[in-house]
Amino acid sequence: MSELMEAVELLEREKGISRQVLIESIEQALMQACKTHFGKNDNINVSVNSQTLEYHVMAEKEVVASEEDIVDPQLQVTLAKALETNPGVEVGDILTSEIDSKSFGRIATQSAKNIILQKIREEERNVTYNQFADKIHTVVTGTVSRYQNNKSYYINLGKADALLSESEQIKGEKLKIGERVKVYVLEVKGSNKGPRITVSRTHPELVRKLFEEEVTEIRDGIVEIRKIAREAGSRTKMSVSSNRPDVDPVGACVGMNGSRVNAVVNELRNEKIDIIQWSENPAILIENALSPAKVVSVNADPENRSALVIVPDYQLSLAIGKEGQNARLAAKLTEYRIDIKSESRAKAAGDFDDLYLDDYDENGEYIEGGQDLILEEPEPAPKEDSAYGQELIADEKTPAENLSGVPGNEG
């Protein structure tokens, strides 16, 4: 019995399987052993002490007058036989006697053993599933365990392996076997072989969770991440705001000498991260989102979720970004369709009346004698695509000056 106690305690401690589940499996195993040994277990009762694990297998039989009255010897016993161990018993009584489990044959014993092992495996899978089901939409750290021919990695998370498919890998990232890596848990499904866990290195929420780990102000709710636009492996733009006027949200995320943002950048293999100040004013938000480019003016149309942005001629390429990436991410971040024009081209088109960004305050109010942030509905941009303003205009301008940075523009 001490060996059974040690085994149960070990399973409780190392596998996380509850004692009650193990006791139930022992009871089921003994019932099955009786059925295998006797052919039935309808009259069998099994009890297991939860503290000592002492168990008893009891059989109930009806007392009948003689051998001629016995229909089923497994369920009935003669009066003469019953009186040998139970003086005073009478016909019709139910006689309870204990069965020695050691008398079970090899087949019955093996059957009982298999039931216990199967129950332990099932419960172990359930424990593991529940453990990881609680980690959906969180970041976990694992070790790269193996690489499949279909270009997928398996990440060992301790009690289970997670699948990092090719589509969820950062483009160009090569992981090494044994390397520790942080992943975002997308999905956990149960199966006969244990939980099937799918993880990602490309999901925008990975960036959010990594900043939550690094920035105390985010965990405390002082700084809030408002929106994330990401092209994994290349660049991320993230807008942040503060619930306290004395806390700079951008500075909090950057950290002393860039320590906080650099920790995230290093985990993402040097992916560029732009952290911008979020604003209720859509024009200011769009200006910030196009960082690091400088903006001359913004015509924002909140009703149609579109904006015309004018930048200095020398900033046009920077505002659009390589293959339109900077403008594309800014559009995703602000949820505005953004058309970008150079200052000289805007003047030629009549879209620009020498009003500059500094003419308006943060709330979009005009500053007398100053220059302003344009919030009126913009004039239609000639020769531009009406839906997204993506087309190139063939004239004497350089290609960069003729490109409008908009959502979905790939170049």
pLDDT at residue 182 tops 60? yes
Q: In this structure, are residues 259 and 228 in contact, taking their beta carbons and an 8 Å threshold?
A: no
98-112, 117-131, 145-159, 227-241: range with lowest mean pLDDT: 98-112
Worst-scoring range by mean pLDDT, 51-60, 119-128, 350-359? 350-359
Chosen CATH of 137-199 out of 3.40.50.10190, 3.80.10.10, 1.10.40.30, 2.40.50.140:
2.40.50.140
Please check whether the domain covering 281-411 is classified as CATH 1.20.120.1200: no
Residue 57 phi, psi dihedral angles, 5° rounding: -110, 115
User: Where does the chain hold its CATH 3.30.300.20 domain(s)?
Assistant: 203-278, 281-411
Tokens of 396: 């004497």
Average pLDDT over residues 119-134: 82
Nearest to 268 by CA among 214, 193, 344, 313: 214
DSSP 358: G
Q: Is the pLDDT score of 119 beyond 90?
A: no
Question: Mean pLDDT score of the chain, rounded to an integer?
Answer: 79
pLDDT above 60: residue 162:
yes
Least confident interval from 127-136, 266-275, 295-304, 355-364:
355-364
pLDDT of residue 21: 77
Domain 203-278: which CATH number of 3.40.50.2300, 3.30.300.20, 3.40.50.1820, 3.40.50.10190 = 3.30.300.20
What's the rounded Cα separation, in Å, for the pair 392 and 411? 10
Position with higher pLDDT, 340 vs 398:
340
Q: Do the bridges between strand 196-200 and strand 55-64 make them parallel or antiparallel, or are there none, so unpaired?
A: unpaired
Question: Phi and psi for 155 in degrees, rounded to 5?
Answer: -110, 120
- Global pTM exceeds 0.85: no
Query: Tokens in use for 49?
Result: 């002490």
Residue listed under structure tokens 């105390």: 216
Angle between helices 282-289 and 325-334 (to 10 degrees): 150
pLDDT of residue 380: 39
Q: Which residues contact 189 (CB under 8 A, 6 or more apart)?
A: 195, 196
CA-wise closest residue to 326 among 281, 278, 372, 294: 294
DSSP 400: G
Q: Inform me whether the pLDDT recorded for 213 exceeds 70.
A: yes
Options 3.30.1480.10, 3.90.1420.10, 3.30.420.40, 3.30.930.10; CATH for 2-131 is 3.30.1480.10
Q: Are 371 and 280 in contact (CB under 8 A)?
A: no
pLDDT at 352: 56
Residue 84, Cβ neighbours under 10 Å: how many?
10
Which residue type sits at 291? Answer: S
Residues with Cβ within 8 Å of 101's Cβ and at least 6 positions away in sequence, in order, are 30, 33, 55, 57
The DSSP letter of residue 69 is G
pLDDT at 364: 45
Q: How far apart are CA 114 and CA 229, in angstroms?
A: 53
Instruction: Select the more confidently predicted residue: 388 or 162.
Output: 162
Which residues, 6+ apart, have CB-to-CB distance to 46 below 8 Å? 27, 30, 31, 55, 56, 57, 58
Angle, alpha carbons 352-357-360 (nearest 5°): 110
Rounded distance between C-alpha atoms, residue 316 and residue 324, angstroms? 11
User: What span, in angstroms and rounded, lies between the C-alpha atoms of 133 and 195?
Assistant: 9
Number of H helices, E strands in the chain: 12, 15
The residues of the chain that CATH labels 3.30.1480.10 are 2-131
CA distance 342 to 331: 18
The SS3 of residue 77 is: strand
Model pLDDT, residue 267: 93
Instruction: Specify the pairing of strand 94-98 against strand 55-64.
Output: antiparallel
Quote the tokens at residue 182. Answer: 């942080």
**Residue 351 confidence class, pLDDT cut points 50, 70, 90:** low
Q: Are 111 and 31 in contact (CB under 8 A)?
A: no
